[in-house]
Structure 1
Amino acid sequence: MSRRIGFTGDVMLGRVVDDRQRRRPADAVWGTVLERLRGLDGLVMNLECVLSTRGRQWRRTHRPFHFRANPDWAVPALERAGVDVCALANNHVLDYGEMALRDTLAHLDEAGIARTGAGETLDEALEPAVVSVDGLEVAVVSFTDNTREFAADEESPGTAWIAVDVENETTRRRVRDALERAREREPDLLVASLHWGPNMIEEPPESLREFGRWLVEEGVDVVHGHSAHVFHGIEVHEGSPIIYDAGDFVDDYAVDRRLRNDRSFLFVLTVPDDGTPTELRLHPTEIDNCAVHEASPDAADWSRDRMRELSAAFGTEFERAGDSLVLSLGE
């Protein structure tokens, strides 16, 4: 028996998205992709906002953007899409201070949506999210190198912050701690979800490439990267896929007409009983009217061609299946 586990890029439900959603059904934010999401066996997202109506905008350091979504619609939206895990290690979980972060943690817990990467303390932020996907145990750990001032410590809430540097001893110790906690749960599939690197870059820098490969060598089965707002190429290292950046899945951002940050994919991993992924399927998506949709033919062509071009640098080749790209894993 195989399970199909989906991974998305950034899901930002605040600002204009939040405003639009107050006047339409909660699941409208998923547009024409909703049924595909609901048809998955598992779903992992990077949640790029807080779920709260409380708190004040972060002012301790300069922050140009602040993202907050009303949980009255946002939590039902996540539930209706069938979200299993939210990665929270990113540069927006403290946009409205500690109160809004605590609200976010509480709302996810109440909804039964597992979360990782942020918490009341660093210890909590390092705890894995562990879910059972039709009997397959999946553990997710989450880290970020963005916004160091949001880092949790032994006494303060925030993110599981790291320096993305394989030579950094604190980073190696922190990551290995989280991975060991995950392995103690005896998962069949171990995922590392990372909000890493700068915005609007077209390829991962060498530091991310080295780190992604190191994670696989440390036992991670799939690396789920995000942060750049545009998708990057995919590398397969020792049989494990490294999604260097999944791009944006839904938001209200201005669109760069060359980089097309409104276009990406739903990444669907096929995992059999033994926990060894056999296939990664990429379904083209695009953002319109603050909702995610199945990509139009022209947008899908552009995204497929771009993904092939970016992934060729890693020796990665895809097959075509309908509108999707298919990457076979293993032998």
Structure 2
Amino acid sequence: MQAIRIALIGDVMLGRLVNRVLRETSPAYPWGDVLPVLLAADARIANLECVLADTGEPWPGKRFVFRSDRKNVVVLETAQLTAASLANNHVLDFGDRALSEMLEALDRAGIARAGAGHDLAEARRPARFAVGGLSCALIAVTDNEPEWEARPGLPGIFYVPCDPADPRFHDLGELVRETAQRVDAVIVSYHWGPNWGERPLPEHVRAGRTLLEAGARIVYGHSAHITRGVEFYQGGAILYSCGDFVDDYAIDEVERNDESFVFVVMLDGNAVREIQLVPTVIVDFQARRSDPLRAARQCERMRRLCAELGTRAEFANGGLRLLP
């Protein structure tokens, strides 16, 4: 079987100023000149860090709430998004009604989704899709916003503390194990931990490895707002943080939350063969290919962080090639 290419990107936040720009520009605008990179992959997955809805009221007392017009589902369609991870700390920013509206919009657009739903069963249900003859499943969880945890008969997110000793984490492992028996490749999206910090937390390392041992091939992390290193483990890979891909956030000049990558994972059978990193930067509310000087700096930082995790990195085609 020929290797397939799955493009993973970090947080996609289409609310606030991005939403305002989208009322005057094309649906392709947020993707900038990175769109051809995304379309060249066989599948594309993003963490949707907002709700797409025209209804709802801001969550009481929440400082940062992100909503984009429902019509902006066409932005995701323009990138031919295969699946969206919805388990995060913004999907319920405008309440249950807005969440329900977005779920319907994604379903109508044919975009697979995981991590949030009308009840716990729906929130924990893996999103299934086929890529080049390979059957895949996306399971999406978060350890943010415990009050949003979906329950039987109640909408919310698939909330799982990042603690292998927690019964909910054990349940996640069982779900991964069961799903891995039905598909060729399981991807676990984990919106985990607090913001900032370029190295993975010890609990993330333990959790990521445990999920690969349970049968996942890719653990796809985000939440930190910046990119972290990648670790290969038992034929799979842990992307500890994919950073921010599109948003309107203030830029931290030290952490550089405006800089990220397209992480193109090469799956050969059900093993991760290599990962190609294409450097990107957010400019004027859109993702753009980094210029050569910036790209070199981004790649050197990532090479260093990956080396700490035992991952080989080679500079190639203006980006990085990661190898076990």
**TM-score (normalizing by structure 2):** 0.97
Deviation sequence 1:72-114 (CA, Å, 0-9, x none): 1x21111110100000000001100000000111000000000
For residue 202 of structure 1, report the CA deviation from its aligned partner.
2.0
2:279 aligned counterpart, secondary structure: strand
Does the CA contact (< 8 Å) of 2:7 and 2:43 recur in 1?
Answer: yes
> Do the aligned partners of residues 177 and 110 (structure 1) sit closer, same or farther apart at CA in structure 2, a change above 3 Å counting?
farther
**Could you tell me how far apart the structure 1 residues matched to 2:178 and 2:63 are?**
35
Which residue of structure 1 aligns with residue 191 of structure 2? 195
Q: What is the CA distance between 1:239 and its match in structure 2?
A: 2.4
Which residue does the alignment assign to 1:5? 6
**Secondary structure at 2:228 match in 1:** coil
* CA distance in 1: counterparts of 2:203 and 2:93, whole angstroms: 27
Query: Is residue 139 from structure 1 mapped to residue 133 from structure 2 by the alignment?
Result: no
* SS of residue paired to 2:264: strand
* Whole-angstrom distance in 2 between the partners of 1:48 and 1:178: 24
2:56 and 2:134 map into 1 onto residues whose CA distance is 38
Once residues 200 and 82 of structure 2 are traced to their aligned partners in structure 1, the CA distance between those partners, rounded to angstroms, is 27
Q: Which runs of 4+ in 1 moved over 4 A?
A: none
Structure 1 residue aligned with 2:157 = 159
Residue 169 (structure 1) aligns with: 167
1:105 maps to 2:94? no
- 1:23 aligns with 24
**Gaps spanning 5+ residues in structure 2: where?**
none
Alpha-carbon distance, 1:201 to partner: 2.0
Confirm or deny: 8 A CA contact 1:11 1:45 kept in the other structure: yes
**Residue in structure 2 matched with residue 51 of structure 1 by the alignment:** 52
Partner of 1:207: 203
Asked if 2 retains the 8 angstrom alpha-carbon contact of 1:141 and 1:182, the reply is no
Alpha carbons 1:38, 1:80 under 8 Å: kept: no
Q: What SS is found at the alignment partner of 2:312?
A: coil
Show the counterpart of 1:225: 221
Offset at residue 71 of structure 1 (A): 2.1
Alpha-carbon separation, structure 2, partners of 1:151 and 1:170: 11
2:175 is equivalent to residue 178 of structure 1: yes
- Please name the residue that 1:289 is paired with: 284
Give the letter for the 1:168 counterpart.
D
The equivalent position to 2:88 in structure 1, one of 76, 87, 90, is 90
Q: CA deviation at 1:38?
A: 1.3
What is the percentage of aligned positions where both structures have the same residue? 40
Report the more deviating stretch, 112-121 or 34-43: 34-43
Q: Is the 8 A contact 1:232 1:310 kept in 2?
A: yes
Q: 1:172 to 1:243 in 2, by over 3 A?
A: same
**Could you tell me how far apart the structure 2 residues matched to 1:297 and 1:103 are?**
41
Which amino acid counterpart does residue 141 of structure 2 have in structure 1? F
Distance in 2 (alpha carbons) for counterparts of 1:242 and 1:324? 19
Secondary structure of the structure 2 residue equivalent to 1:212: helix
Instruction: Specify every segment of 5 or more residues in structure 1 that has no aligned partner in the other structure, as ranges.
Output: none
Q: Displacement, 1:310?
A: 1.4
Q: CA deviation at 1:116?
A: 0.3
Alignment of 1:68 onto 2:67: yes
* Letter matched to residue 308 of structure 2: A
TM-score, normalization by structure 1: 0.95
Moved more, 62-71 or 85-94: 62-71
Alignment of 1:225-264 (within 5 A): 225-264=221-260
* Alignment coverage as a number of residue pairs: 323
CA distance in 2 between partners of 1:297 and 1:44 (Å):
26
CA offset at residue 270 of structure 1?
A: 1.2
Asked if the contact 2:7–2:45 (Cα under 8 Å) also holds between the matched residues in 1, the reply is yes
Q: Match for 1:5: what amino acid?
A: I
